[in-house]
C-alpha cells in the first residue's frame, strides 16, 4: 500500500505522526510539504477572535524585529512541540516533495504523480475536492479533539474551558469540517494540566499514536467506520485572548490546589 503524509512545513503535528508511524513499523512512501496559510487567513481568524485590537497587535508583532517579538502562549506551545519532535523526514529513506499551498497546483501535481493509496494529514488545513479525489482508498486526519463535540480550531483550549478531559479522533476526511466517519477516538488518561501548552502537547502526541494505530487497521482491512452524529454546536473558532488567559489562570490555580492538597507520603 502506498502511504503518503501531507503536512505543513515544520508542523509539530506532522512530525509526531511520522515518528509514531516509524515506531510501529508502518511503511511511509513519502512526504509532501506545503506552505502555511496566507497571512490574510490568520488575520481573519484573529479579527473574529479579538477584533481590531487583536489584528493591530498581530500586525505590530510582524513588523517588529524577530528577536523583539512577543512570544505568546500559542507560540510557546509550538516551540515546545518542535523541541520534542525532530523533523523525522530528514532521516532514513522517506522521499520529500515540496508543494505550494495545500490546494495549490504544485501540491496537486505532486500527489497525482505519487499515486497514493492512502493519504495522511499532518496539520495542513482543509482539502479541496480536487485533492480529496486523488488517494485511491481515502484520506485520514488525526483531529486534536473529541468528535463530533469539538470540531474546528483551538479545540483543546475550548475543551478545557468547558471543564472536560481533552481527547483526539482519527477520521476519514470528506468535504465537511471534521465531519467524516470515525475510526478511532480516545481521551487522555488525565485531564489535569498546568498550562495550555502542556495540554496541547499531550493531545498532539495522542493524536499521532492514534493515527499510526488507525493506519495499521486500514492496512489490515479491519478499520471500523462510525458515522458521526449531528454536532450539538457549530465548529469552534479561534479562542479570544481574554478567554484564553482565563483558561490559563484556571489551570494554574487548579494545579497549585492539586499540589497543596496532595497527601503527604509517610516514612516507613
Helix axes 12-23, 196-220, angle to 10 degrees: 50
Alpha carbons within 13 angstroms on the beta-carbon side of residue 120 total 33
Q: Is 187 helix (H, G, I), strand (E, B) or coil?
A: strand
Q: Residue 165: its pLDDT value, please?
A: 92
Radius of gyration, alpha carbons of the chain: 19
Q: Own/partner pairs for 97-102, CB < 8 Å, 24+ apart?
A: 97/30, 97/31, 97/32, 97/33, 98/9, 98/32, 98/33, 99/32, 99/33, 99/34, 99/35, 100/34, 100/35, 101/34, 101/35, 101/37, 101/38, 102/6, 102/8, 102/34, 102/126, 102/127, 102/131
Omega before 148 within 30 of 0, i.e. cis: yes
Q: Residue 264: its pLDDT value, please?
A: 35
Q: Which one of 3.40.50.170, 3.30.750.200, 3.50.50.60, 3.40.50.620 gives the CATH number of domain 3-260?
A: 3.40.50.170
User: Any idea where the domains of the chain sit in the sequence?
Assistant: 3-260
Residues in the chain where the model's pLDDT stays below 70: 36-95, 232, 256-268
Name the pTM for this structure. 0.79
Residue 19 annotated in active site? no
CA 105 to CA 93: how far, in whole Å?
A: 26
220 neighbors 129 (Cβ within 8 angstroms): no
Q: Residue 146: its pLDDT value, please?
A: 94
CA 230 to CA 152: how far, in whole Å?
A: 14
Q: Which one is catalytic: 13, 19, 143, 171? A: 143
Q: Which of the 8 DSSP states describes residue 147?
A: T
CA 225 to CA 175: how far, in whole Å?
A: 17
Burial class of residue 33 (count of CB atoms within 10 Å of its CB; 0-12, 13-18, 19+): buried
Q: Is 184 helix (H, G, I), strand (E, B) or coil?
A: strand
CA 52 to CA 164: how far, in whole Å?
A: 31
Amino acid at each position: 500500500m502506498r502511504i503518503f503524509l501531507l503536512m505543513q512545513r515544520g508542523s509539530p503535528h506532522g512530525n509526531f505522526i511520522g515518528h509514531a508511524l516509524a515506531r510501529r513499523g508502518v511503511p511511509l512512501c513519502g512526504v509532501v510539504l506545503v506552505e502555511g496559510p496566507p497571512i490574510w487567513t490568520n488575520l481573519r481568524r484573529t479579527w473574529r477572535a479579538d477584533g481590531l485590537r487583536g489584528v493591530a497587535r498581530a500586525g505590530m508583532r510582524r513588523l517588529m524585529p524577530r528577536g523583539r517579538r512577543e512570544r505568546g502562549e500559542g507560540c510557546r506551545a509550538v516551540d515546545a512541540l518542535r523541541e520534542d519532535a525532530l523533523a523525522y523526514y530528514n532521516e532514513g529513506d522517506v522521499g520529500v516533495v515540496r508543494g505550494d499551498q495545500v490546494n495549490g497546483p504544485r501540491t496537486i501535481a505532486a500527489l497525482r504523480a505519487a499515486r497514493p493509496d492512502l493519504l495522511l494529514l499532518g496539520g495542513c488545513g482543509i482539502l479541496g475536492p480536487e485533492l480529496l479525489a486523488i488517494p485511491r482508498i481515502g484520506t485520514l486526519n488525526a483531529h486534536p479533539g473529541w468528535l463530533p463535540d469539538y470540531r474546528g480550531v483551538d479545540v483543546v483550549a475550548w475543551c478545557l474551558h468547558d471543564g472536560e478531559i481533552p481527547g483526539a479522533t482519527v477520521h476519514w476526511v470528506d468535504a465537511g469540517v471534521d465531519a467524516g466517519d470515525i475510526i478511532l477516538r480516545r481521551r487522555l488518561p488525565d485531564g489535569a494540566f498546568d498550562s495550555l501548552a502542556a495540554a496541547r502537547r499531550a493531545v498532539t502526541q495522542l493524536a499521532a499514536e492514534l493515527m499510526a494505530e488507525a493506519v495499521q487497521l486500514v492496512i489490515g482491512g479491519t478499520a471500523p467506520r462510525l458515522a458521526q452524529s449531528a454536532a450539538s454546536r457549530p465548529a469552534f473558532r479561534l479562542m479570544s485572548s481574554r478567554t484564553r488567559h482565563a483558561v490559563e489562570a484556571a489551570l494554574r490555580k487548579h494545579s497549585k490546589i492539586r499540589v497543596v492538597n496532595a497527601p503527604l507520603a509517610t516514612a516507613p
